[in-house]
Structure 1
C-alpha cells in the first residue's frame, strides 16, 4: 500500500514547510510546534479499552503523558472517518474505522501489523485482553480477533434482531471485558454477556438502543440508552437491578467511581446517580448536549459538551470548578493522566489542560475533527483525527 507508507513518512518527518496542517502551540509561545523524530519506548504499556478500565473512568493513575512541545510522531491514514477510540497494549495500537476494518498498528512508528475487514462500519472501540481483540461492527457481530494476527477466533451475534425485515442491528457500542466476561450493547436494545470462548452467558433487554460502553463495577453492569434510561444489570445473570430516566438520550458512556454513576445526556445535563439504587445525587446543567463519557479522577469529574466546553465538576455535589472553551463541539471523551486532561475537539485540535484550573498546557492541530478519546501511554498520546490515527509525543 504505497500511499499509506508515503503519507506516514510525510507525517513523521514533517518540517517547517508543512507545519500549517499539523501545528502545535502553547498558550504563551510561538504557534508552530517543533518537529523531529524522537524515540518512543519499545515497551509501551497498556490502555486496554475505552475509558482505560472496566468502570470507564478515563483516568490512569500509573501512566504519564506529554504536556508541552507535543508533535506528531507518526500518522496512519485509514480509508474513512474514525470514531473508534484507540486501545494500546504491549506496543500495538488497535482501532476501528468507517472503512469497515479493524487495524493493528505499531505504537512506535504507526506501521500496519494487520487489518481485518468486517461487513460494516466499526465505530466500536476495541477492548484487548489476554491476546484477544474484542470489537463490534455495524454488521451486527461482536468479533474476537487474535491480537497477533487479526484472525477471527469467534464472532457473536450481539445485534440479533426480532424484526423479520432486518437480520441484525448494528453493534456501535464498545465492549467491556471484566472478570473473564465480555459485555456489549447493541442497537437491538439489548446488552449481552459473552464468555471469552464466544458462548452466551445472558442477554438482557435494556429498553432502548445501547450505543454506550458498559461500565462494570462491583458485580453490576451500567449502560445508557437512547431512550434516556440508565440501567443497572446484574453481571452474573443480567437481572435488572434498577433503571432511572435521566431525562433525555444517553449517548455518552457511564463512568462509575466510589459508589456513584456519572453520565451525560443529550438534554445538556451531567447526572450523578447512586450506584446502589439509582437515586439522583446531583444534576449539573451544561446548557448543551453532553455526548462524551465523563472522566473521573479523585474528587473531580471532567466532561465535554457539544457547545465546545470542557468542564470540571466536583464529584461530590456537581459544583463547577472550571470551564475551558474550545473552538467547536467536544465529542471526544476526556482522558486524565498525571495532572493533565487530554481531550479533542471538532476544531481539529487535541488539547492538554491542567486538571487544577483548566489552563492550556499545549494544543496541537491534527488536520481533522478529533472525536475519539485519547489513549495516553508512556508519554505518548494515541488519538484519531478525521480518518487518520496518530502517535503524538514530545521530543
Structure 2
C-alpha cells in the first residue's frame, strides 16, 4: 500500500497526481504546492522533501521550490528513502537502485536484475526487496550505503507489494510479503540476514509493518490487523470488513486504514 504522506516539524506533505502539497500541521491549510505529476510517496529529510515525478525531485520544505532534480529511468512507482546524507531511489521494473547525495550528485548504482520495491535507509545500510517470481519468490538485500555493494541477501519465500518497504528495528528487519497461498511477514537478523521467524496470515498479503516498543503491527488482505511480539508470537488480532493496507503506531494507539480509519489500543 503506497503511502503518499510525509510529516515534518510544521507541515504534512501530500503527493498527488497534480503535485506535492505542503499543508500546515496546525490547521490543514495549504502553504504551497509544487505543480508536477507525482507517481509515489514522500521521503522527508532534515533539509528537503523528496518525491518521484518524471525525475526525482528535492523540494525546499519552507517554500515548496524545487532545489534540484535528478533524471530517473523505468517505472517510477516506488517511494524514495533518505538517511545519513544519502537519498536512494529504485526503479520498480528495471531493478536499478540509485543513491544520490543530498545535493543531487549520483554516488552509485546497483542493478538487481529483477523487479525491485521501495528502499529503506538505516544507519549505513540500504535495504530493498525484490520480486524474482511475482507472488512466489523474492529476496531482501542489504546494500552498503556508501558504495552499493551487497552485504547479504535473504530469500523471502514470497514477494512484496508495490510501495511496501522493509522496516528496520534495533536487531531485526521486518518485511511484509504476498504469496499465492498465504501472506507472510518475515523477521531477519540485521547483521547477516538470517531468518528469525515467519508469521503467516489467512489470505495472500501482509502489508508494511509498524514497530513500537516490543511489538510489531501489520495489516493484511484477510481484513485483519495483527499485533505480534518481537519474537513473532501473536498477541492479538482485530477484524475489519475489508483489506487493511496501512498501519501506523502512535504512543498509545495503533491507527489502521481499511476504507475507514480505526484507532486501536496498542496493548
C-alpha deviations, 1:1-24, integer Å up to 9, x for none? xxxxxxxxxxxxxxxxxxxxxxxx
Task: Give the match for residue 243 of structure 2.
Answer: 369
CA distance in 1, matches of 2:85, 2:255: 31
| TM-score normalised per structure 1 | 0.61
Point out where structure 1 has 5 or more consecutive residues left out of the alignment.
1-82, 86-123, 160-170
Task: Give the match for residue 13 of structure 2.
Answer: 134
Shift of 1:394: 5.9
CA distance in 2, matches of 1:394, 1:288: 28
User: Quick one: higher RCO (CA 8 Å, sep 6+), 1 or 2?
Assistant: 1
CA distance in 2, matches of 1:273, 1:321: 20
CA distance in 2, matches of 1:278, 1:293: 18
Aligned positions, number? 255
Over alpha carbons, which structure has the higher Rg?
1
CA distance in 1, matches of 2:24, 2:131: 36
Shift of 1:150: 2.8
Conserved 8 A contact 1:247-1:265:
no
CA distance in 2, matches of 1:303, 1:157: 33
Shift of 1:359: 0.8
Task: Give the match for residue 27 of structure 2.
Answer: 149
Task: Give the match for residue 281 of structure 1.
Answer: 151
Aligned pairs for 1:309-324 within 5 A: 309-324=184-199
C-alpha deviations, 1:20-60, integer Å up to 9, x for none? xxxxxxxxxxxxxxxxxxxxxxxxxxxxxxxxxxxxxxxxx
Within the alignment, does 1:391 sit opposite 2:263 as a pair? yes
SS state of the match for residue 209, structure 1? coil
Within the alignment, does 1:181 sit opposite 2:48 as a pair? yes
Within the alignment, does 1:203 sit opposite 2:69 as a pair? yes
Change (3 A) 1:367 1:301: same
CA RMSD after TM alignment: 1.7
C-alpha deviations, 1:338-389, integer Å up to 9, x for none? 1111011110011111112x110001112111111x211122001101x111
CA distance in 2, matches of 1:256, 1:176: 11
Conserved 8 A contact 1:270-1:290:
no
CA distance in 2, matches of 1:179, 1:359: 36
Task: Give the match for residue 69 of structure 1.
Answer: none
| TM-score normalised per structure 2 | 0.89
Conserved 8 A contact 2:167-2:173:
yes
C-alpha deviations, 1:316-344, integer Å up to 9, x for none? 11111111110123352111111111011
SS state of the match for residue 362, structure 1? strand
Task: Give the match for residue 135 of structure 2.
Answer: none
Conserved 8 A contact 2:97-2:109:
yes
Within the alignment, does 1:300 sit opposite 2:165 as a pair? no
Task: Give the match for residue 102 of structure 1.
Answer: none
Change (3 A) 1:394 1:261: closer
